[in-house]
Amino acid sequence: MQNPSLALTKSALPGTYSAVGDTIGYTYLVSNNGNVTLDAPISITDDKITAPNSVTCTQPGDGQLSPLETMTCTATYTIVQGDLDAGSVTNTATATASFDGDPVDSNQDQVTVTAVSSPALTLVKTALDSSYAAPGDVLDYELVATNTAT
């Protein structure tokens, strides 16, 4: 009995990020775990990797992925402010090949990379009045808070 099947394992390095512009490298291991040869091209759909970025795959030289054969794909994601604010980046990917002209989809695999946050706040207090005359006099101050997180 023919059993086309594709498996996906996704990993990420580094396992943490701490600043806008940091990059996460993703590796996708695609395995033909069925008992029939699958046709290339094998593609990866990843919900965080969008144009102009892409997932890069080195396709099998013969245009087919034999049973138990594997291939590796890679992609890079750049951290934005929303990722720091959220505290983590989770994304999901799926691989697709074909058998006899029909699509063969892998399992979905996801990976989460966490932010290393360094919240910091600086407060500067300045007296606006240079003197007072009696108990109960009101003194005015200026308070300036600055987000100095890195």
Domains delineated in the chain: 6-115 (2.60.40.1510)
Nearest to 27 by CA among 74, 70, 59, 78: 74
Name the more confident of 15 and 60.
15
pTM of the entire predicted model: 0.79
Question: Could you give the 3-state DSSP secondary structure of residue 31?
Answer: strand
Q: Please say whether the beta carbons of 31 and 70 come within 8 A.
A: yes
State the burial class of residue 32 (Cβ atoms within 10 Å of its Cβ: 0-12, 13-18, 19+). buried
- pLDDT one-digit tens code per residue, 101-128: 999 999 999 999 999 977 788 988 988 8
pLDDT band at 32 (very low <50, low <70, confident <90, very high): very high
The Cα–Cα gap between 33 and 37 comes to: 10
Helices (H), 4-146: 81-86
